[in-house]
Structure 1
Amino acid sequence: MNLFNRIFKIGQAEAHSAVNQFEDPIKMIEQGLRDLRLDLDKALHALAEVKALAIRSRNEAETERGRALDYENKAVLLLQKAHRQEMEAPEADRLATEALLKKTQHEAQATRATQEQQKFEASAQQLDQNVQQLKSTISQWDNELKTLKARVTVSTATKTINQQLAQLDSSGTVALLERMKDKVATEEALAESYGQIAQESKSIDQEIDKALGKDGSGQASADLQALKAKLGLG
C-alpha cells in the first residue's frame, strides 16, 4: 500500500496541465477515492488477521505457562511422596527431573508465544495507525471532492456567461439593441412632430372662424329666440 504516492497522484489530477487537458480531475479524484477505499478494506482485513494472531499467541502463552506450572507441581508431589517413603527416592528423583524438563519446555514455549504476541501487537498497532490515516485521508478528500465539484459548477457557469458576453458584439446583439433603441426614439420624435402639426392646424382654423364671426355664439342666440317664439314665450 503506497498511500502517499496515491495521494500525490490525486493531486496531479488538479495541478498537472497535461492531466487538465486529457483527464477529468473530478473523475480522477473519484477513482483515487475508490482506490483508497479498497486499500482501507485490505488494511482492515489485515488488521483483523494480525489481531487474531496476537490473541492466539496470548492464549498459547497462557496455556504453556499453565502446563509448566502443572509439571512443577507434579515434581513437588513426587518429591513429597518419596519423602513420605511412599515410593523409592531414586524413582521419585527421576520422574521429578522429567517433570522439571517438561516444565522448562513449556516455559520456553510460553516465552516464544509471548514474544510472538508482542510482535503481532506491534504490527497491529502500526496497521491501526495506517487504517486511521487512510480514514482521515478519505474523509479529507471526500470534502475536497464536494468543494471541487461546487467550484467546477461555478466556473463552468461563469465561463459560459463570460463567453456569451464576449460574443455579444460579434453576434450583432448589442448593435441590434442599439438600433432598436434609436428606432424607438425616432418613432417617439415623429409622433410628437405630428402632434405639433395637428395642433398648429387646429389653431389656424380657430383663428379663421373667429375672424369671420363663426365662433358659434351668434347662431346659438338666434336658435334660442326661435324656440321661444314657437312656444309663445317671446
Structure 2
Amino acid sequence: MNIFKRLLKIGQAEIHALVDRMEDPISLSEQGIRDMKKQLGDTVESAAKVRATIIRTENNIREKEQEAASLADKAKRALTKAQEGELSRTQAEQLASEALLTKKRCLEDTQDLKESLTEQTSKLDEVNKHIEVLKYNIAKWEKELTTLRAKQKVNEAASLANQQMANMDSNSTLDMLQRVKRKVANDQALAEAYAEMAQNKHELPDEQRAIQEELTELKKQMGIE
C-alpha cells in the first residue's frame, strides 16, 4: 500500500497501523486516487503561476536590455553633439556619464532578473517532474483499482460459496436424500399397486363369464333349467 506514502504526511508506524485497520481497500484506494487528482490539480495551477512569473521576468529582461541599449545610444549622441558644437564638452560628458550610469544600473537589474529567471525555471522543472510523477501514479493506481475490484468480486463469490458450504449440515442433507429416496420408492410401489388393480378389474368379468358358461353347461347335462 505505497499509496499512503505519497498522500499522508504521517509517521511510518501510523501508516502501518492504518493499513492493519483497513477494512475496505477499494474505498481507501478510491479516496487515495481522488486525493492525488486534487494534488495534481493544485500542482498544475502552481506550475501555471510559476510559468506566468517566468514570462513576466523574461519580458522585464528584454525591456531592461532595450533600455540599456537606448542609454548607450544616448551617451553616444551626447558626445556626437559635443563634436558637432551643439553642446559643450562638459555638458556632453555629463549627459553621457548620466546615461552610462543608468545603463549600468539597468544591466545590473538585468543580471538580477536573469538569476531569478534561472531559479524560476529550475522550480518549474521540479514542478513539472512532480506533475509527471502524479500522472504516472494516478494511471498506475487506477489500473490497480480495476484489479482490486475484480479480485473483490471473485473473493466475495468464493466467500459466499464457502459460507453456504460451511452452513450446510451434511447429516440433514443425507437424511433429506434418504427421505426423497423412500418417497420415490413408495410412489413407485403405489403406482404398481394401482396398475395391478386396474389389470384385475379388467380380467374379473372374463373369469366370471367362463364360470357362468360352465355352470350353464352343467345344468343342461343335469336337465336343470
TM range (shorter): 0.7 to 0.9
Q: CA deviation at 1:177?
A: 4.0
Deviates more, 1:20-29 or 1:80-89: 20-29
Match of 1:50 in 2: 50
The aligned residue for residue 6 of structure 2 is: 6
Per-residue displacement from partner, 1:111-136 (whole Å, max 9, x unpaired)?
22122222212211221121122123
Measured in 1, the distance between the counterparts of 2:17 and 2:197 equals 71
When structure 1 is superposed on structure 2, of 123-132 and 201-210 the one drifting more is 201-210
Shift of residue 7 of structure 1?
6.8
Q: Which residue of 1 aligns with 2:199?
A: 199
Alpha-carbon RMSD across the aligned residues, in angstroms, is 3.3
Name the counterpart of 2:95. Answer: 95
Change in Cα spacing, 1:110 to 1:17, as seen in structure 2 (3 Å) is: closer
Runs of 5+ consecutive residues of structure 1 not aligned to the other structure: 10-15, 219-234
The CA distance in 1 between the partners of 2:192 and 2:74, in whole Å, is 130
SS in 2 for 1:6: coil
- TM-score, reference length from structure 1: 0.74
2:135 maps to 135
Alignment map for 1:3-152 (pairs within 5 Å): 5-6=5-6, 19=19, 22-152=22-152
| CA distance in structure 1 between the partners assigned to 2:47 and 2:208 by the alignment | 115
Following TM superposition, the consecutive aligned residue runs of length 4 or more in structure 1 with deviations greater than 6 angstroms are none
8 Å CA contact 1:26–1:148 kept in 2: the answer is yes
Shift of 1:208: 5.2
Task: Report the alpha carbon displacement of residue 175 of structure 1 after superposing the two structures with TM.
Answer: 3.4
Is the 8 Å Cα contact of residues 65 and 110 (structure 1) preserved in structure 2? yes
Aligned position for 2:222: none
Q: Which amino acid aligns with 1:98?
A: E
Summarize the Cα distance change of 1:3–1:176 in structure 2 as closer, same or farther, 3 Å threshold. closer
User: Amino acid of the residue matched to residue 152 of structure 1?
Assistant: Q
**CA deviation string 1:119-155 (max 9, x = no partner):** 2122112211211221232233233323322332332
1:213 corresponds in structure 2 to 213
Residues 52-97 of structure 1: CA deviation (Å, up to 9, x unaligned): 2211211111111111011101001001001101111133123212
- Provide the rounded CA distance (Å) in 2 between the counterparts of 1:4 and 1:167: 38
Task: State the match for 1:186 in structure 2.
Answer: 186
Q: How many residues align?
A: 209
Moved more, 174-183 or 99-108: 174-183
Aligned-partner residue type, residue 56 of structure 1: R
Q: Which runs of 5+ in 2 are unaligned?
A: 10-15, 218-225
Q: CA deviation at 1:98?
A: 2.4
Q: Once the 2 structures are TM-superposed, how far is the Cα of residue 104 of structure 1 from its aligned partner?
A: 1.7
